[in-house]
Chains A and B, each alone.
Chain A
């Protein structure tokens, strides 16, 4: 199969509540799955506990002696970056000698909002400056670039829930521009008491396991994690004689220009983003195996996605993985890109976790059983606060 333009994905790394690497996550999806629990690393004084998807404490993250110096978000990003780099077979020398950029999406990872520091400041005390220094030392793209001695561009994308998807798409543009040979692209976010309270205040969180697209869905569960793809020019890949896991075939992005937190109910922005992503290689619907949707479990999001998919891609199976991972915010798009690649390779998609009872108001429904898929193209889409829509198209292609 020849494409007009494509970028090999030569390595993938992923860590989330479902597992500490991509293979373990996939086994979980096709097995028992993972389930949200009350947060263990912070507390809230709400009358009910809102469950979250935490990366288990027993999983050892990157950091060693530096763990106290950088945010957990950055540790998650580095952990998945290490897996992806190893998967791509990039040696330390190759990392230093090639032009390699870093493009990472995050939300929590760029926020200066340490509560303990601020409480002391408000009281007119003299707070310890360590939390501020930690914030200044935690820019995930910067840390990854410095840790591996990379010489390419670096960028942290802060586009809320579409950050991870946008980071991958924007990183791809660098390679097309000839700025670098490869990009470490992905997203990372940790669970935080601040965002926990923020989403609860918006009344879009569920106090039980989330149910994307279900008739009785009541909102999302937050999660944490990271995923990284190694995007590489085909020339660089061939020189290294390393196989690709998949190819990136398209990136589309748009903004609803509608509301700060709610998506455009007509989904006009999402339709434009999907069309733009498919247009790059003139992908027709008969080639699309599945869509890995944003599927948060909120009424607005699921309604819009169902409407758009019914109009643009009827009969194409789709699923949400947020019932396995929670909504990992800036990491979500990257984690779902990783899963899209893995599902393309497997030729099947898991049950859309949490979906049991169809909503008669939603014209399209996700799969409710493990499903074999044909087609050589998978779509991963993300919708974010601010009305962002970001879509990636991957091709199943062994190079």
Chain B
């Protein structure tokens, strides 16, 4: 399997999602083992559709950035900027030399709301009244750009969009920028937002078979609930680390058509299963019997950058030395040792495992030492 063996320190974590905002909120939802989605209504050709959604709130951003400075920053960028600020704060990063920091952002769908908001201005008022503000905010790299403007990071600024493989793919880039010493720090993360079109498309293409809730471990049932949010990390080479949570040691990627999957038997696996049965079958077929596994998508929902949340949870586990139990509604799967209650983590690595419908896979290995 192609892979990038590396050793990159995770110094700070910032996470925003349905569970709340920041590491403390994420840890609380992990301890409580529950996160309730909100509800949205979509008016469609089938009438009013009510959908559960894990929404992200960004009010807290105003404690970092004056409200006036945010007036032209859309929800997508706000989620990212908040995640970035939280990660920098968590790392205790002092803005001493902004040229030393690069930014790498992964996003599956980009600024979806603003993209359709731009179309609204055209449809409602004609081509000549298209909004330049909406247009400039709708480009996929707008969030990364806003992050650089607010954090004054002048290193390389890269945005990657590879649907469910966006996070592992972008992480390779982030690690390489550090390995090549192009920068000393990288603010790396994933961000995706909900919009009504996305919700409608999910409803049409993947009708929910489990209205009672998301059950990612029931791999042959469609139970995905859309989520939005961001998870950011301040990464560095080990020698520049600031009291790191853990280290990223390997990023493995490939496609099942070309090769079989091989995972270390001692590793604890966080599965990126998020209630999509088209992807679920790959977990069922590829993860060996008896593997120690957990899934946490019930806490943040189904979104392309889900692996970034799994990375955050892995880092928290490695720092605390304890694996969090799966959320209450995650379901069961007798093939594996599913961690339902907190368990001690020994020295084994944690692998965040993600498959997409196409059979592409991305695994991110994290270790304490």
Complex contacts, B161 vs chain A, CB 8 Å: 110, 139, 156, 158
Residue in A44, A141, A153, A386 whose CB lies within 8 Å of B144: A386
Contact A202 to B176, CB < 8 A, known contacts A125-B45, A386-B145: no
**Interface membership of A56, Cβ < 8 A:** no
Over the window 247-258 of chain B, the binary record of Cβ atoms lying under 8 Å from chain A Cβ atoms (1 yes, 0 no) is 000000111011
Interchain CA distance A151-B103 in the complex, whole Å: 27
A294 interfacial contact with B, CB 8 Å: no
Interface: A247 (CB within 8 A):
no
Q: Does A254 contact B (CB under 8 A)?
A: yes
Give A183-210 interface residues, CB cut-off 8 Å to B: 194, 197-203
Most buried by A among B103, B115, B132: B132
A124–B45 touching, CB < 8 Å: yes
Query: Which A residues are within 8 Å of any B CB, using their own CB?
Result: 44-47, 99, 101, 107, 110-113, 115, 118-119, 121-122, 124-127, 129, 132-133, 136, 139, 141-142, 145-146, 149, 151-160, 166, 170, 173-174, 176-177, 179-180, 194, 197-203, 253-261, 268-269, 272, 276, 384-388
Report the stretch among B197-205, B281-289, B337-345 that lies at the interface.
Answer: B197-205
Smallest CB separation, B270 vs chain A (Å): 21
- What residue in chain A is nearest B196 (Cβ atoms)? A121
In the bound complex, residues from chain A placing their C-beta under 8 Å from that of B107 are: 158
Question: How far apart sit A254 and B3, CA to CA, in the bound complex (Å)?
Answer: 27
Residues of chain A lying within 8 A (CB to CB) of residue B146: 260
Q: Is the CB of A151 within 8 A of B2?
A: yes
Is A159 within 8 A of B159, CB to CB?
yes
Q: Which 7 A-B pairs have the closest CB atoms?
A: A126-B45, A386-B145, A198-B135, A158-B140, A255-B157, A253-B156, A201-B130
Among B145, B152, B160, B176, the residue within 8 A (CB) of A174 is: B176
Q: Which residues of B contact A (CB under 8 A)?
A: 2-4, 43-46, 98-99, 103, 107, 109-110, 112, 115-116, 118-120, 122-123, 126-128, 130-132, 135-142, 144-146, 148-149, 151-163, 165, 169-170, 172-173, 176-177, 179-180, 182, 197, 200-201, 204-205, 253-255, 257-259, 358, 360
Complexed CA–CA distance, A133 and B258 (Å): 24
Least Cβ distance of A151 to chain B in Å? 5
Contact between B140 and A107, CB atoms less than 8 A apart: yes
Q: Looking across the interface, which residue of chain B has its beta carbon closest to that of A173?
A: B176
Asked whether A176 lies within 8 Å of B180 as measured between CB atoms, the reply is: yes
Residue contact A257 to B153, C-beta cutoff 8 Å: yes
Is A170 a contact of B176 with CB atoms below 8 Å? Answer: yes
Residue of B whose beta carbon sits closest to that of A111: B115
- Given A124-B44, A132-B205, A254 and B154 contact (CB-CB distance below 8 Å): yes
Q: Look across to chain B and name the residue whose beta carbon is closest to the beta carbon of A149.
A: B258
Q: Is the CB of B162 within 8 A of A142?
A: yes
The 8 Å CB contact of A112, one of B44, B112, B139, B155, is B112
Chain A residues positioned under 8 Å from B201 (CB to CB): 129, 132
Nearest chain B residue, comparing its CB with the CB of A145: B255
The reply to whether B136 and A260 form a contact with Cβ atoms under 8 Å apart is: yes
Residue from A101, A256, A260, A272 in contact with B142 in the complex, judged by beta carbons closer than 8 Å:
A260
Distance between B307 CB and nearest chain A CB, rounded to angstroms: 15
Q: Is the CB of A386 within 8 A of B130?
A: no
Instruction: Give the distance to chain A from B157, nearest Cβ to Cβ, in Å.
Output: 4
Not counting A110-B140, A118-B197, a sample of 8 additional A-B residue pairs whose C-beta atoms are within 8 angstroms of each other reads: A99-B2, A111-B140, A121-B197, A155-B173, A177-B179, A197-B122, A201-B132, A255-B154
B149 touches A158 (CB 8 A): no
When C-beta atoms are compared, the residue in chain B nearest to A106 turns out to be B161
